[in-house]
Structure 1
Amino acid sequence: MESGIDRLIQSVKEELQISYAFSDRCCIYKVPERLRELNEKAYTPRLVSIGPIHHCNDKLKAMEDHKRMYLQEFIARTKVSVEGFIELIKEKETRLRNCYEETNWFSSENFIKMILMDAVFVIMFLLKYNCRKSTEFRGSRDSIFYPPYKWFDVRVDICLLENQLPFFILEELCGLSTILGNSPKPTLIELTHWFFSNEWGSWAVGEYWGKIDFSEVKHLVDFLTIYHRPTEQQQHEELEVLTAPSVKELHQAGVKFVLSSSKNLLDIKFDRNKGRLEFPRLQLEDGT
């Protein structure tokens, strides 16, 4: 007769068989609680969930109907069947799951369906946003770009770290489509660049974006991260910094502030010999 210790051993072995190893591909995860508790709203989507982290949020369920509308339109405009899109995502399921911190509570069926719905929504939103002067991509039913103009909240939601999809699946789904007909079809990199530069101006993505390698971009937030990497990696000895001094304190200590010609926000240089702190201009507007 099986003892209690035998059942415990068997239970642990079964759990070890189904557990997921930590993945070095993980790039989409929850914001640390020490940041979230300072301002919950800054990290939580207002209108639409993208990906698994906020998928079960009841406050965001209303946009699921809009996702279905976009999927219908996406399929109608492409030469790819639902089966073709699902098969593609199924082939990439393990890679997709590895991009997230946790997806264990999703069955394979629900996970694939969520990725398809959310990915198509993001692609269609970027297309409609960038082609907003064309009535071809905007139907009268679309409340995102017509009253009550939900695009204002959507554009913020798709830029939240917890609300991301792996960029590669967006590229592959976009690449399968013929959604722009015979006209030159923009790449997802171009659609993303146009979105950021039109919505937030040169401080987000400026004029020299074409010189940057985006081949390894992980998601939309990572797109901005790659763009704003310092153009020059400076090597300095490690210094112990207890607290960051304020601008007033630096000025009182004799530091001179110099405006840089660079448009990259992280191109900040400090000349210790001359006491010069050089940094680019940040233009603050209502939408910033």
Structure 2
Amino acid sequence: MESFNNTKQASASLKAKLSQLSGAQSESTIYRVHRHLRNVNPTAYEPEMIAIGPYHRDNEHLKMMEDHKLRYLQQLLVEKNPPDGVGWYVAAIERVEAEARKCYADQPKTLTPAQFIQMLVLDGCFIVQLVRKFDRVNSSETNDPIIQMDWMINSLQRDLMLFENQLPFFVLCELYDLIEAPDQHSRFWFLLRRFFSILYPGKGCDPNCVTPVAPRKVKHLLDFIHRSWLPPPSHPGKGRVRFIDSATRLEEANVKFVLRSEGETLFDVGFEAGVMTMPPLTVEDRTESLLRNLIAYEQYFQHTFVTDYVHFLDCLVDSSTDVEKLSRKGIINNWLGDAQTVAEMVNKLGDSVAGPGHGFVYGKMFEDVQKHCAKPMNSWRASLKRRYFNSPWAVISLLVGAVLLILTAVQTVFTILQVV
């Protein structure tokens, strides 16, 4: 009898846990970055100025922004004068509190429903008011230190896209509907794209191109940024090649790099007849953090075009020499100044990231590049350059040797003529 009771209790307990797990797993959209990825560069995933959502709210250095959140909420209440004051926003968010809580994979169990609702209202109203004020920065926003200081805006743009620093997107839309007007999401999309537009390190986001989808189809602001960055056009076929040589090695094999001024997106890279065309990539202080968080996002969800592009870039850049070559072509705009720093950043972006899958965007292009480099003339050219032209001293030695060979030949000819 005791054995039967133990079996029954164990079965009931496991069934309950399995039921809870399946529900939480299917609804989660906001995760913590997994340890292996975080350990490569922890600071890339951590907010510098503001905590949004539950994961970083207890960090001491971020609490200075809590007063700014309250000020922005107060400004909204004065400007919009909702029927029940702040209760107007609280009541709306209370209706979606349970749904919002399930969006967090690491659920904020220490927060009571009232505390969780307060957090959603304060954080959500701050974001909505921030993008509203940013849109009218040149008119009435002269007394706001956040809006008037570029460094604060730059930090906020970075912090608000971090994978762990998110609110469910439908919460932002609920609040925007109350603050502005119901179902005016095309305007909200425009404001968000305008706010984040200078964060993108390359082509692909046009704030005037607004194609909103249903709020619950967008997971959070990082997902919004990912959706707004146009992926590369479909490439014909799916190649199996996953690696190509560095830019320096490819140049040795008669590959030419050309800046692509046309095209709609950073990821629209092409290769034809020995010419690789690439749109410009700007590398500045926030670029690594943006790319790392987008890669972290793609590790959990589909559409890995950012990860594929970073893998392509990692193949091209082995050293500072490769960065300098691409910079001279206008392909890399190096705002960091030091080519070695850019090379090290690129080389580490792919650490602890799953390699390209079967849908690798640049697989067919990689095959074409390898076929080009394997042609006898290009292969011989590359081998010759590496062997005889890999340093100034090697070039000098080769020239001296050629001169000596010519002099020897001339001397031989004169000797023969004298004998004759």
Q: TM-score, normalised by structure 2?
A: 0.56
What residue is the counterpart of 2:259 in the other structure?
Answer: 259
Q: Which amino acid aligns with 2:106?
A: E
CA contact (8 A) 2:158 2:199 kept: no
CA contact (8 A) 2:32 2:106 kept: no
CA contact (8 A) 2:169 2:218 kept: yes
Unpaired segments ≥5 residues, structure 1: none
- Structure 2 distance, partners of 1:76, 1:226, is 34
Does 1:110 find its partner at 2:110? no
What residue is the counterpart of 1:188 in the other structure?
Answer: 188
What residue is the counterpart of 1:43 in the other structure?
Answer: 45
What residue is the counterpart of 1:268 in the other structure?
Answer: 269
| Shift in Å, 1:107 | 2.6
- Structure 2 distance, partners of 1:120, 1:211, is 22
List aligned pairs for 1:169-248, cutoff 5 A. 169-178=171-180, 187-197=187-197, 199-200=198-199, 203=202, 206-207=205-206, 210=209, 212=211, 214-215=213-214, 216-241=217-242, 243=243, 245-248=245-248
What residue is the counterpart of 1:121 in the other structure?
Answer: 126
> Residue 94 and residue 267 in structure 1: after superposition, are their counterparts in 2 closer, same or farther (change >3 A)?
farther
Q: Secondary structure at the match of 2:133?
A: helix
> Residue 249 and residue 99 in structure 1: after superposition, are their counterparts in 2 closer, same or farther (change >3 A)?
farther
- Structure 1 distance, partners of 2:195, 2:170, is 18
CA contact (8 A) 2:93 2:117 kept: yes
List aligned pairs for 1:21-170, cutoff 5 A. 21-80=23-82, 81=84, 82-105=86-109, 106-135=111-140, 137=141, 140=143, 142-145=144-147, 150-170=152-172
| Shift in Å, 1:165 | 1.7
Aligned length: 277
Higher percent of residues as helix:
2
> Residue 64 and residue 287 in structure 1: after superposition, are their counterparts in 2 closer, same or farther (change >3 A)?
closer
> Residue 61 and residue 210 in structure 1: after superposition, are their counterparts in 2 closer, same or farther (change >3 A)?
same
Q: Which amino acid aligns with 1:110?
A: Q
Q: Secondary structure at the match of 1:188?
A: helix
> Residue 39 and residue 253 in structure 1: after superposition, are their counterparts in 2 closer, same or farther (change >3 A)?
same
- Structure 1 distance, partners of 2:255, 2:77, is 59
Q: Which amino acid aligns with 1:281?
A: P
- Map Cα deviations across residues 38-64 of structure 1 (whole Å, 9 max, x no partner): 222211001110112212222212222
Q: CA RMSD in A?
A: 3.5
> Residue 126 and residue 147 in structure 1: after superposition, are their counterparts in 2 closer, same or farther (change >3 A)?
closer
- Map Cα deviations across residues 4-58 of structure 1 (whole Å, 9 max, x no partner): 9589747666656765624444332222322322222211001110112212222
> Residue 34 and residue 286 in structure 1: after superposition, are their counterparts in 2 closer, same or farther (change >3 A)?
closer
- Structure 1 distance, partners of 2:21, 2:285, is 47
CA contact (8 A) 1:170 1:188 kept: no
CA contact (8 A) 2:190 2:207 kept: no
Q: Secondary structure at the match of 2:238?
A: coil
- Structure 1 distance, partners of 2:121, 2:212, is 27
- Structure 2 distance, partners of 1:278, 1:26, is 39
Q: Identity of aligned pairs, percent? A: 31
Q: TM-score, normalised by structure 1?
A: 0.79
| Shift in Å, 1:78 | 1.9
- Structure 1 distance, partners of 2:72, 2:213, is 27
Higher normalized contact order (CA 8 Å, seq sep 6+, divided by chain length): 1
| Shift in Å, 1:203 | 2.8
CA contact (8 A) 2:157 2:196 kept: no
| Shift in Å, 1:253 | 3.4
> Residue 190 and residue 202 in structure 1: after superposition, are their counterparts in 2 closer, same or farther (change >3 A)?
farther
> Residue 201 and residue 240 in structure 1: after superposition, are their counterparts in 2 closer, same or farther (change >3 A)?
closer
Q: Which amino acid aligns with 2:279?
A: P
- Structure 1 distance, partners of 2:238, 2:24, is 33
| Shift in Å, 1:174 | 1.0
Single out whichever of 256-265 and 202-211 deviates more from structure 2. 202-211
| Shift in Å, 1:153 | 2.2
| Shift in Å, 1:286 | 7.1
Q: Secondary structure at the match of 2:234?
A: coil
- Map Cα deviations across residues 170-194 of structure 1 (whole Å, 9 max, x no partner): 1221121149xxxx99821111121
> Residue 285 and residue 253 in structure 1: after superposition, are their counterparts in 2 closer, same or farther (change >3 A)?
same
- Structure 2 distance, partners of 1:266, 1:250, is 19
- Structure 2 distance, partners of 1:211, 1:190, is 6
| Shift in Å, 1:239 | 0.8
